[in-house]
């Protein structure tokens, strides 16, 4: 196995991609897509919303806020390191009440870092002599608690909060009805799930999948592996439901 000292130093940590409908994707470009979640910035007239915040190995807030050019609220859709690791770098932080305890007092084990983030999933270092085995997620207090039915008002667009448990007790999705875009974090993505499958709460997970399936979704911006169109979303949901229902009788 390679040691950290054999890896190159990354000149630029984040890749940035602009999508239509005022959505920008930030990705930690030197970590396996399986081990890090995307950060989605939704642009508004008065405020932007950062949906998930990556690992925090390099704090994302300075870059995201520079691109936004206006106040940014960061919402953690679950409490795991690959989606909430950079949450503490933002001044305005939202999460579901059930995930708040983990975000206030994360441990390497409780947020999943010990399982997924290691020398095989890290492809470059953020700086010289960085040791991924020393990774810790910075604890932070939420400045806003959101639940099912809450909204983020960005001035010229309003995003709806959906409580979709199954991966974490306070798992969330964000629904942008105007553009038909659903942000799903760990709740729905297509690709290798490894030891993350089956989900820890399969009954709740299936109920959440059925709920998302009924939305008039045009595009899914998931936590891993890239955008899905509606048909792809339906195919993935149907496969996952069939797999979990068969496994649970």
Q: Is the pLDDT of residue 82 over 80?
A: yes
Q: What is the pTM of this model?
A: 0.95
Going by DSSP bridges, is the β-strand pair 14-19/144-145 parallel, antiparallel, or unpaired?
unpaired
Residue spans of the domains in the chain: they are 6-247
The CATH classification of domain 6-247, taken from the options 3.60.15.10, 3.40.50.1450, 3.20.20.80, 3.30.420.10: 3.60.15.10
pLDDT of residue 216: 98
Q: Hey, what are 68's tokens?
A: 């936004």
Q: What is the pLDDT of residue 246?
A: 78
Neighbouring C-beta atoms of residue 220, cutoff 10 Å: 26
**pLDDT (tens digit, 9 = 90+) per residue, 30-45?**
999 999 999 999 999 9
What does the pLDDT look like over 122-134, one tens digit per residue? 999 999 999 999 9
pLDDT tens digits for range 206-227? 999 999 999 999 999 999 999 9
Bridging pattern class, strands 144-145 and 92-95: parallel
Cis peptide before 158 (omega within 30 of 0): no
- Report whether pLDDT(3) > 80: no
Structure tokens belonging to residue 40: 């989605």
**Residues 63-79: pLDDT tens digits?**
999 999 999 999 999 99
Q: 202-213 and 230-247 are packed helices; what angle lies between their axes, rounded to 10 degrees? A: 150
Between these two residues, 172 and 3, which has the higher pLDDT value? 172
| Region of residue 69 (left: phi > 0; alpha: psi -120 to 50; beta: else) | left
Residue 1 is predicted with a pLDDT of: 36
Q: What is the mean pLDDT of the chain?
A: 95
pLDDT digits (tens, 9 = 90+) for 110-155: 999 988 999 999 999 999 999 999 999 999 999 999 999 999 999 9
Helix (H, G, I), strand (E, B) or coil at 4: helix
Among 99, 92, 93, smallest CA distance to 78 is for: 99
Percent of the chain with pLDDT strictly greater than 70: 97
Strand partners, 153: 158
Q: Give the mean model confidence (pLDDT) for residues 197-204.
A: 94
pLDDT-derived band at 2, boundaries 50, 70, 90: very low
Q: Band of the pLDDT at 6, cuts 50, 70, 90?
A: confident
Residue 235 has pLDDT above 70, yes or no: yes
């Amino acid at each position: 196995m390679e040691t950290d000292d054999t890896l190159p130093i990354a000149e630029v940590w984040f890749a940035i991609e602009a999508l239509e409908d005022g959505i920008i994707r930030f990705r930690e470009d030197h970590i396996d897509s399986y081990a890090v979640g995307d950060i989605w910035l939704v642009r508004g007239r008065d405020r932007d919303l950062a949906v998930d915040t990556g690992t925090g190995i390099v704090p994302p807030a300075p870059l995201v806020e520079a691109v936004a050019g206006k106040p940014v609220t960061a919402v953690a859709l679950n409490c795991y390191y690959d989606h909430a690791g950079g949450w503490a770098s933002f001044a305005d932080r939202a999460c579901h009440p059930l995930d708040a305890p983990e975000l206030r007092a994360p441990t390497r084990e409780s947020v999943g870092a010990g399982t997924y983030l290691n020398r095989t999933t890290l492809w470059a270092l953020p700086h010289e002599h960085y040791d991924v085995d020393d990774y810790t997620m910075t604890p932070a207090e939420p400045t806003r608690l959101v639940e099912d039915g809450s909204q983020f008002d960005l001035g010229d667009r309003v995003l709806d909060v959906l409580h979709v448990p199954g991966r974490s007790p306070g798992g969330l999705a964000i629904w942008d009805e105007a553009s038909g875009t659903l942000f799903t974090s760990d709740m729905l993505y297509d690709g290798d799930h490894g030891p993350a499958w089956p989900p820890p709460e399969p009954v709740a997970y299936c109920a959440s999948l059925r709920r998302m399936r009924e939305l008039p979704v045009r595009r899914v911006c998931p936590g891993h592996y890239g955008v899905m169109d509606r048909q792809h979303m339906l195919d993935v949901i149907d496969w996952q439901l069939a797999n979990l229902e068969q496994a649970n009788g």
